[in-house]
Amino acid sequence: MDTFSNLIGGEWTEGPGITENINPSNTDDVIGRYAQGDAAQANAAIAAAKAAAPSWARTNVMVRHNILKAAAAEIFARAKELGDLLAREEGKTLAEGIGEAGRAGQIFDFFAGECLRLAGEKVPSIRPGVEIEITREPMGVVGMITPWNFPIAIPAWKIAPALCYGNTIVIKPAELVPGCAWALADILKRAGLPDGVLNLVMGKGSVVGEAILSSPDVDAVTFTGSVATGKHVAMKCAEHMRKVQLEMGGKNPLVILDDADLDIAVDCAVNGAFFSTGQRCTASSRLIVTEGIHDRFVEATIAKLQSLSVDDARKDGTHIGPVVDAKQLDTDMNYIEIGRGEDGARLAWGGERLNRATPGFYLQPALFTETSNDMRINREEIFGPVATVLRVKDYDEALAVANDTRFGLSSGICTTSLKYASHFKRNAEAGMVMVNLPTAGVDPHVPFGGRKGSSYGPREQGRYAAEFYTTVKTAYQLA
Ligand code: ADP
């Protein structure tokens, strides 16, 4: 079986430990053996990134462009194979995996272009004979801690802008999905990235992640993951007065009004709530439905759920793959029990553990109806294929319920009314708003991020990524 090492200072380096990457669709299938780094390896990676930073910051933009472009080209060429690896290690369907790999390619492509569009400003001073230049400079060494649910897209949307704007990197991917991050590191190394510019240290959050957070030589940290770990990351960064960017959870509402197109509403709900096994921070976990369409919507949604196949992620015809691991499955089952125990709530569909041909973490999507917004299943992020329906009187109540959450990542509405669509776009307390579209599923070239407890710090993706990956310099000169 193949063994995969960490990349430190341009050298593939075995870890002090090793871990098996397991397929959640078939726990007998071991994808590979991956290095598990320790604090010493993390520190060596940080030192390598620090040493490489000055020259990478000055690298000709055409060189950066060529490397990012070559990486994009290889990702596109290998999208099927990378998508298969992704589906095998994370459990989203093959089609979703290939789509995500393609998206990683698009992100590298976008930032390859951005390398050639870097610019500053020259402005007149209020003092005679003085010229002012405003420029952006790289942050330096960026620490990246990534989650398991988008194993290639999230590393890509942190690595590509970091490199474009001249930073060096130490990345620690989630323990469950080292394969895609390793593949990206390998692609970038072969694309000609100089030694030490990108360092990959796989391993535990409490060991490698903690070492990144504790190092005075890391200039900025970007994190995607849970709220609890995100808070810890922010506190550690405050200790070092270090720039930080956090993307965390969601409890995203999808409002369905009486005047909605029922087919669009059901598609948005089922896709948003259950595709990718509901394991997206942008998943529509609260379906807020007005009275006039409520019963028709619930009936049609259940009919659609009945037609979906939950099975091996890489099997033809699978709509929903397994839950990522035993721990997440326990969490999901636990919340389903909590929901069943709530006064009034009804488990209208699913929620059963499923057996398939191979041992895997299969769970039937669960839909609760007659829920209220104060129930735990409506307050806490579950991160699985579990959604609730909340019955509301009218648009005003729907909007109030949609915003009554400590999260604020993505908010959706299904309506044919221009008035309500426009009002919702202005008044939804979220970083992203979707009209007649699922709450999940975003473009790669525009800002991504949320409000309230969902995000902290500057936005990711598109040109807005520069806010995090650069620092502004204002230079004055007597001409
Ligand atoms: P999840 O529940 O989705 O695994 P986490 O927030 O625990 O979310 O994990 C997201 C990332 O944070 C992973 O790469 C994980 O290893 C890392 N992580 C977990 N704990 C820590 C920690 N104490 N310090 C730094 N990173 C951590």
Q: Per-residue DSSP letters for 95-109? A: HHHHHHHHHHHHHHH
Q: What is the DSSP letter of 193?
A: P
Average pLDDT, the chain: 98
pLDDT for res 231:
97
Nearest CA to ligand 1 atom 14: 174
Question: Among 19, 90, 144, 145, which residue has the most ligand 1 atoms within 8 Å of its CB, making it the best to mutate?
Answer: 145
Cβ atoms 461, 107 nearer than 8 A: yes
CA distance 82 to 80: 6
* Rounded distance from Cα 228 to ligand 1 centre (Å): 9
The H or E element containing residue 223 is strand 220-224
What is the whole-number distance in angstroms between the Cα of residue 328 and the centre of ligand 1?
14
pLDDT band at 49 (very low <50, low <70, confident <90, very high): very high
Supply the pTM of this predicted model.
0.98
* Mutate-to-test residue for ligand 1 from 38, 177, 182, 229, highest number of ligand atoms within 8 A of CB: 229
- Closest approach atom of ligand 1 to CA 229: 6
At 407 the pLDDT is 98
CB 222 within 8 A of CB 143: yes
Question: Across residues 8-32, what is the average pLDDT?
Answer: 98
Quickly state the pLDDT bin for 41 (edges 50, 70, 90).
very high
Report which protein residue has its CA nearest ligand 1's atom 19: 205
- Sort strands 26-36 and 198-200 into parallel, antiparallel or unpaired: unpaired
Pocket residues for ligand 1 (CB within 6 Å)?
Answer: 145-148, 172, 174-175, 205-206, 209-210, 213, 225-226, 229, 232
275 has a pLDDT exceeding 90: yes
Residues across the chain:
479
Structure tokens at 211: 């070492």
Whole-number pLDDT of residue 451: 97
Distance from Cα 134 to the centre of ligand 1, integer Å: 37
Q: Which atom from ligand 1 is nearest to the alpha carbon of 236?
A: 24
CA of 316 relative to ligand 1 center, distance in Å: 32
* Torsion of Cα atoms, 436 then 440 then 446 then 448, to 10°: 130
Q: What percent of the chain has pLDDT over 70?
A: 100
Given a cut of 90, whether residue 477 has pLDDT beyond it is yes
CA of 210 to the centre of ligand 1 (A): 9
Q: What is the set of active-site residues?
A: 247, 281
Return the sign of the alpha-carbon dihedral for residues 278, 283, 285, 288.
Answer: negative
| Closest ligand 1 atom to Cα of 174 | 14
Confidence (pLDDT) at 2: 87
